[in-house]
Amino acid sequence: MGVVNVTPDSFSDGGRYLDVDDAIAHGLEMVADGADIIDIGGESTRPGAARVATEQELARVVPVIEALASNGVRVSIDTMNADTARAAIAAGAAILNDVSGGLADDRMAGVVASSGLPFIVSHWRGHSDTMTSRAQYTDAATDVAAEVRARVEALIAQGVASEQIIVDPGLGFSKNADHNWRILAKLEELLALGHPVLVGASRKRFLGALLPDDAPMEARDLPTAVVSVLAAGAGAWGVRVHDVASTRLALDTLSAWQAGNDV
């Protein structure tokens, strides 16, 4: 899954794709680099980010979704807003990705249920302006899996089909570096829920901590590719990344390694 942030304040690319034409071109480039899905977001969820008005979010994402979908690209909409999700579906989005797991907008479950589309349910404890203070766990892997299970059960009770659900541990959301590493090391706890698992570690702060303080954001793409291939090897359904080319090569290398068993 390649990430296209149509925002002025993303932590990962600093507004590089705010222009609609630039966002479309970047999405097509990612597909050429090997992305299976392009995830379009019009609201930053970096720590401390302010919410975006629905009208502004729609203006950012709908033209990009329409253009990519018309080119045969499988598009995911990254939004916490039910109205944006509804408009994105009309524009051609094939997957709904909500970092709040439907908690930020209580209408989201209804939109998801009526659409029948896959729904990515992330672990979430609160909006960006409060999430740092919420990073308290007994055991991050076990606690996150339990909270995701409860969220999935609530969505199913609201009419979302179990087969629609993909789960995401929400790395970096109300989690510090140790929490993120614990969740990744024990990914089987999330896999045990019985739903496909998406891992989105790309360029996040805990990977930056492995690098020199003055390293550019792009330097995080190598550890991202390593985490992505380890997640895939552990059984993840998908990985969400900013640099598709490096992760695609890493995943192809894993596939070649695994194919050696059949030679």
In the residue annotation, 186 being an active-site residue is answered as no
In angstroms, the CA 204 to CA 137 distance is 20
Between CA 149 and CA 168 the distance in angstroms is: 11
CA separation (Å) from 39 to 59, 77, 220, 232?
16, 6, 19, 18
- Out of 60, 175, 220, 240, pick the active-site residue: 240
- Please compute, for residue 162, the number of CA atoms within 13 A of its CA located in the half-sphere on the CB side: 6
DSSP for 135-197, written as a single string? ---SSHHHHHHHHHHHHHHHHHHTT--GGGEEEE--TTTT--HHHHHHHHHTTHHHHTTSS-B
Active site residue 240: yes
Give SS3 for 241.
strand
Which of 204, 205, 220, 248 does the annotation list as catalytic? 204
**How crowded is residue 90: how many other Cβ atoms within 10 Å of its Cβ?**
11
Q: Which residues contact 124 (CB under 8 A, 6 or more apart)?
A: 99, 100, 101, 103, 104, 170, 173, 174
Give catalytic residue positions: 204, 240
